[in-house]
Amino acid sequence: MAPEQMADGPDGMALPPPRPLDAIDQDILQMLQTDGRASIRSVAETVHVSRANAYARINRLVEDGVIRGFGARVDHERAGHGTSAYVTLKIVQNSWRTVREQLRQLPGASHIALVGGDFDVLLLVHTPDNRALRELVLTRLQAIPEVLSSRTLLVFEEEDLEPQG
């Protein structure tokens, strides 16, 4: 990958070109997706490498941007955000980076994707109720100058999928 094609990490810094992942790296990724709180010791034992090797591999996966972070899977309804919606956006051509930065600032935004098709951006939001969703869509999103139009798809039920093993 040429320097001008290097991917940007979450902090905006250029990531190094990706290195190939072997079977042990894949096993580590699968284990951490299932349990992001797994200890180095349990990772090492499960994939049959030393603790130092497991630690070095996890650090390399983080440095290479393969692992983007560690977090908790949240039940949004139980956490006080009982309304979820996918919002599709049509945006001004070549404004993705500007729009992305503004969408990151929205309360309740949990996933942002630039997509191809009938719309440009797919945004997943979680809000306390329909009133807050209405405020987010009609006030916050429509105030972004590069947003040409939006459609809101209310989520009736959702489920996080466990990684396949």
For residue 55, is it within any domain?
yes
Work out the burial of residue 100: count CB atoms within 10 Å of its CB; fewer than 13 is exposed, 13-18 middle, 19 or more buried. Answer: middle
Q: What percent of the chain has pLDDT over 70?
A: 90
Is 129 within a domain?
yes
pLDDT at site 162:
67
Whether 75 is in a domain gets the answer no
Global pTM value: 0.71
pLDDT in tens, 40-69: 999 999 999 999 999 999 999 999 999 988
The per-residue pLDDT for range 114-144, each reduced to its tens digit, is 999 999 999 999 999 999 999 999 999 999 9
Judge if 137 and 105 occupy the same domain: yes
Q: Is residue 73 part of a domain?
A: no
Q: Is residue 130 part of a domain?
A: yes
Same domain for 43 and 90, yes or no, is: no
Q: What is the pLDDT of residues 68-120, one digit of tens each?
A: 888 888 888 888 889 999 999 999 999 999 999 999 999 999 999 999 999 99
- What is the residue range of 45's domain? 7-63
Residue 59 and residue 90 share a domain: no
Instruction: Please indicate, yes or no, if residue 137 is contained in any of the structural domains.
Output: yes
**CATH code for the domain in which residue 114 is found:** 3.30.70.920
| pLDDT tier at 163, thresholds 50, 70, 90 | low
Angle between helices 23-34 and 40-47 (to 10 degrees): 130
Assess if residue 94 is contained within a domain.
yes
Both 58 and 91 in one domain: the answer is no
Number of domains into which the chain is organized: 2
CATH number of the domain that residue 30 is part of: 1.10.10.10
Would residue 77 count as lying in a domain?
Answer: no
96 plus 143 within the same structural domain: yes
Q: What separation in angstroms does the CA of 143 have from each of 51, 86, 134?
A: 51, 18, 13
